[in-house]
């Protein structure tokens, strides 16, 4: 089975997208996947400057851990009709060595339903820049899908399960061991 990774791209200690990521990670582990967990709040990356930032110690660790993953789920807040700056910075800091020949999926936490297409900017950039295979099944949750740190929205729980199944299906079909 291909190695996988789930990355939480919120820097907020009370993040809802981190809860989505955590649920996806649990489900993948329960299915026997070899799945890494990365939380950018615990692994701060410098802002990409196209140069010296690539030499940062955390940047090297994150890149190597993601480089060996054939499927990556990015969990991101929606900020200003886009993924978080931390998510975009992660992509800038890792580049084609991570994202080419890789399957990617998204779990988003937002304030309202109106921003549901916002993740497409990240998805398109991965697709066009690196030919990343994007799973056309996103998780999109708002505050009403949570009770504190618990995910209560039945549809969101179903969607997380669907996304994890698709990640396994895409990676095992495209990159059989």
Ligand X SMILES: Cc1cc2nc3c(=O)[nH]c(=O)nc-3n(C[C@H](O)[C@H](O)[C@H](O)COP(=O)(O)O)c2cc1C
Interface with ligand X, residue 79, by CB under 6 A: yes
Choice from 111, 129, 131, 152 touching ligand X (CB under 6 A): 111
CA-CA distance, 175 to 177, in Å (whole number)?
6
Closest approach of Cβ 143 to ligand X, in Å? Answer: 7
Count of H-run helices and E-run strands, the chain: 6, 8
Q: Give the number of residues in contact with ligand X, rule: CB under 6 A.
A: 16
Interface with ligand X, residue 42, by CB under 6 A: no
Closest approach of Cβ 154 to ligand X, in Å? Answer: 19
Choice from 7, 110, 133, 163 touching ligand X (CB under 6 A): 110
Which residues, in sequence order, are CB contacts of 176 under 8 Å at separation 6+? none
β-bridge mates for residue 74, sequence order = 7, 106
Phi/psi-derived region of residue 111, left when phi > 0, alpha when psi is between -120 and 50, beta in every other case: alpha
Interface with ligand X, residue 15, by CB under 6 A: yes
Q: How far lies 62's CA from each of 29, 55, 58, 150, 169, in Å?
A: 20, 12, 6, 28, 25
Task: Tell me the residue nearest to ligand X as measured from the CB.
Answer: 77
Under DSSP, is residue 4 helix (H, G, I), strand (E, B) or coil? strand
Interface with ligand X, residue 16, by CB under 6 A: yes
Would you say 110 or 168 has its CB closer to ligand X? 110
Would you say 81 or 169 has its CB closer to ligand X? 81
Interface with ligand X, residue 83, by CB under 6 A: no
CA-CA distance, 35 to 166, in Å (whole number)?
15
Interface with ligand X, residue 89, by CB under 6 A: no
CA-CA distance, 177 to 173, in Å (whole number)?
10
Interface with ligand X, residue 22, by CB under 6 A: no
Would you say 18 or 159 has its CB closer to ligand X? 18
Where along the sequence are the contacts to ligand X (CB under 6 A)?
Answer: 10, 12, 15-18, 77-81, 109-112, 115
């Amino acid at each position: 089975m291909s190695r996988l990774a789930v990355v939480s791209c919120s820097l907020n200690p009370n993040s809802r997208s981190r809860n989505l990521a955590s649920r996806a990670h649990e489900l993948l582990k329960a299915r026997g996947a070899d799945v890494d967990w990365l939380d950018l709040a615990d692994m701060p990356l410098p802002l990409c400057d196209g140069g010296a930032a690539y030499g940062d110690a955390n940047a090297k660790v994150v890149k190597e851990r993601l480089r060996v993953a054939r499927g990556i789920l990015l969990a991101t807040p929606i900020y200003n009709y886009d993924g978080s700056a931390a998510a975009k910075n992660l992509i800038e800091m890792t580049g084609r060595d991570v994202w080419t020949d890789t399957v990617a999926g998204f779990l988003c936490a937002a304030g309202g339903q109106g921003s549901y297409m916002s993740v497409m900017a990240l998805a398109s950039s991965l697709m066009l820049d690196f030919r990343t295979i994007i799973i056309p099944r996103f998780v999109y949750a708002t505050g009403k899908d949570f009770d504190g740190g618990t995910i209560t929205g039945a549809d969101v729980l179903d969607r997380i399960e669907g996304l994890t199944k698709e990640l396994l299906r895409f990676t095992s079909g495209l990159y059989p061991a």
